[in-house]
Amino acid sequence: MKLFEFEAKKIFKKYGIPVLDGVVITKDTDLNVALDTVSFPVVLKSQVLTGGRSLAGGIKFAWDKKEALTKIKELFSLKIKKYPVETILIEKKANIKREVYLSITIDREKNCPVLIACSEGGVDIEINAKKTPEKIFKTEIDIFRGLTEYSLRQIAKKLDMGRDLFDLCKQMYSIFMRCDANLIEINPLVVTDAGLVAIDAKMVIDDKASYRQEIFSKIERKENEAEKYGLSTYVKLEGDIGLISDGAGTGMLTLDLITDYGGKAANFSELGGVTNADTIKNAMKVVSSKPNVKVLLISMIGGLNRMNEMAEGIIVFFKEHDPIPVVIRMCGTLEEIGKKMLKEEGFDTTDDLYEAIQKAVKLSKRC
């Protein structure tokens, strides 16, 4: 689970990592009251679960209340990589002397945590890795020994920083282990008159740790709505084709074929068991809520599920939501009734799984 910046900073503060005091606002916040609690100049930071905020205009500065009100309105009307800005973090503008990059993540090849540092912060670490790899330093972490004094001295020396970096790195590693994180990133970590400050904060917590991490029960995401709606399976992927199937076998086959035909699945929901119109409607809601979904592919081979009920759910969904390209492969129990219902509403269907997948892939490349 990805955390918003303000959520990650709450954890950072709890573990002693210096962060700026901030005010979190939404569209329902009384802005006059909120802005009366801050000291200008301030930075207004859109809270979205994606990178590239600054380049997309999602971070703005304001030198007085009037300017802040105008720029807050601009941010709330913004979409960053299709993510609408619904929350903004307001912080006092820092007096920055220098920026560096720090993160801890998992090295999948060596099966251990790794501390990554860069002498240049505030920029895309992947771009830096290609252009100036000599500025990036990596330290593998032995999970039995943790971060050693020797490795910390090496990093501090390479970054030309003092011992205050030691404690901060140790605090990061403590968070990483105790919170079951897959990633902790500070970009940038800045040097100010008051010392080191984490200006930005990124955290990704392992979903498999949901049973022991309290934060999962406190934070609700659209990605987690699948469980709320009783869907059998929901898997997040990185493509642009949203897939819904009524069985695991059909779903796995369809995922493989999407890849074979040159497409990429954005996510996958399996209805499972005996379902009804509400189940498929809710599955469509969850799957289509991911911003990068360009096409919905519905692949059903009804044994236990009745296709007339599936058709009803599809029709109701599109009456209640904005249109999105959809490809429907339908066969099985009462399929003729289901197909007729869909045809009357202007939807095409097919019996051929291969034909449906090829059509969905073509649509995803066109959109």
The angle formed by the CA atoms of residues 354, 357 and 358, to the nearest 5 degrees, is: 85
Mean pLDDT of the chain: 88
Contact present, 184 and 116 (Cβ < 8 Å): no
- Is the pLDDT at 220 greater than 60, yes or no? no
Q: List the domains of the chain with CATH numbers.
A: 21-92 (3.30.1490.20), 98-209 (3.30.470.20), 225-366 (3.40.50.261)
Which distant-in-sequence residues (6+ apart) come within 8 Å of 176 by Cβ?
Answer: 104, 113, 184
pLDDT of residue 122: 74
Confidence of residue 237 (pLDDT cuts 50, 70, 90): confident
Residue 189 has pLDDT above 80, yes or no: yes
Strand, coil or helix: 343: helix
Greater model confidence, 122 or 280:
280
pLDDT at 229 > cutoff 70: no
pLDDT at residue 216, rounded to an integer: 63
Q: What's the whole-number mean pLDDT along residues 109-115?
A: 92
| For residues 224-237, average pLDDT | 68
What pLDDT score was predicted for residue 199? 95
Tell me what pLDDT residue 221 has: 56
pLDDT tens digits, 331-355:
888 999 999 999 999 999 999 999 9
The beta-strand segments (E) located in 143-259 are: 181-192, 195-198, 202-205, 233-236, 241-245
Global pTM reads 0.64
Confidence label for 274 from pLDDT (cuts 50, 70 and 90): low
d(CA 315, CA 342): 7
The identity of residue 359, as a single letter, is K
* 28-80 tens-digit pLDDT: 999 999 999 999 999 999 999 888 898 899 999 999 999 999 999 999 999 88
Which pLDDT value is given to residue 101?
A: 94
Helix-strand-coil percent breakdown of the chain, rounded to 5? Answer: 40, 30, 35
Dist CA 72 CA 135 (whole Å): 36
Handedness of CA 222, 227, 230, 232 (dihedral sign): positive
> How high is the pLDDT of residue 228?
62
How confident is residue 265, by pLDDT bands cut at 50, 70 and 90?
very high
Q: What pLDDT sits at residue 275?
A: 75
The predicted model gives 129-146 an average pLDDT of: 86
Residue 331 and residue 351 in contact, taking contact as beta carbons nearer than 8 Å: yes
Mean pLDDT, rounded, for 309-316: 94
Q: How far is CA 68 from the centre of its chain?
A: 27
- 8 A C-beta contact, residue 344 and residue 312: no
What band does 227 get if pLDDT is binned at 50, 70 and 90? low
